[in-house]
Amino acid sequence: MLAVAIPDSSLAEEDTLRDKSIKASRLARIFAIFGINSIYIYRDLSSDYSKDRRLLKLVLEYMDTPQYLRKRLYAKVKELKYAGLFPPLKAPHHKPYIRLEDVNIGDVRQGVVVKRVSNSNNASNNSKYYVDVGLDTPIPLHISKDEHVNIGKRVTVVFTSRYPNLACRLAKYDEIREYWGYNVITAGSLSSLLTMMIKRKMLIIITSKYGKNLKLHEYEIVSNYNSNKYSGVLLVFGSPYRDIHEIIKDEHKNIKQFTSDVYNFFPCQNVESIRLDEAILGCLSIMNYIIKKIN
């Protein structure tokens, strides 16, 4: 499992809703490219970034949503005014339209739980719930007694029968064999997030210009990753204006209290500063190389 942590000040460099939205959409593309499973948005206590935090989470979740579900889930959200400028994600869970006749047993799609539609081709089915999966009609969703779904919520389903008696059920984790997008979680302070990640046995890697030269210490990451002590990797980024050490100092904490894995991924940078989206792209590229090399 590969996760990232970014501050709610990630969009602070941009002045307008348009520019903030486009930057957030670029970040979504980067996270999907490298198969990020979870994105944690922690609080930068230097100012009130609540509006940026909401927008960042909204755009990231919107980008992760298959296009055929966006109108149903985000029809009246004014902050998505510039959604037409966002690049398509085209991740594996963004399935294209197919005819009902071409759906096979075992196919997996994302959908939204909807109320039963009386004029559906499957109206004779006794299912209590239906799912809009971007096809010509909502599909009956069969759930077991210990399962629970809510109208209007996204779910992943697997088809259990073929047309004209199409039906589906909730997919199990091991039935999803492709990259299936990311979760966006708003966290509290950086120190509280790191504390939680330690309890979850995540390998915490801090990106910082004050860190150790990654090229000289790559073996440390390889050794830790191979040790089976950790459930996954969390890559932590600072803000466009402040390093991780400065951010956590506001909380009267020190990074050394949480991890010694602090690395400079750009030890020979030839520019005064590296933008956050550039840093994330570069760091994830290097981590992808290291992880693939190990595996």
Say which amino acid occupies 153: K
Look-up of token digits 């199409």: 166
Residues 6+ apart with CB under 8 A from 235: 2, 3, 4, 5, 205, 207, 283, 284, 287
Beta strand 154-161 with 167-170 is: antiparallel
In Å, how far are 180, 228, 237, 254, 285 from 30, measured between CA atoms? 15, 27, 14, 29, 10
**Going from the N-terminus, what domains does the chain have, and what CATH number goes with each?**
2-89+179-294 (3.40.1280.10), 100-175 (2.40.50.140)
Per-residue pLDDT of the chain (295 residues; tens, 9 = 90+): 899 999 999 999 999 999 999 999 999 999 999 999 999 999 999 999 999 999 999 999 999 999 999 999 998 899 999 999 999 999 999 999 999 999 999 999 999 999 765 544 544 455 689 999 999 999 999 988 888 888 999 999 999 999 999 999 999 988 898 999 999 999 999 999 999 999 999 999 999 999 999 888 888 888 887 778 899 999 999 999 999 999 999 999 999 999 999 999 998 888 877 899 999 999 999 999 888 766 6
Residues 6+ apart with CB under 8 A from 257: 191
Cis peptide before 164 (omega within 30 of 0): yes
Look-up of token digits 């932590």: 236
Q: What pTM did the predictor assign?
A: 0.92
Determine phi and psi for 149, rounding to 5 degrees.
-130, 155
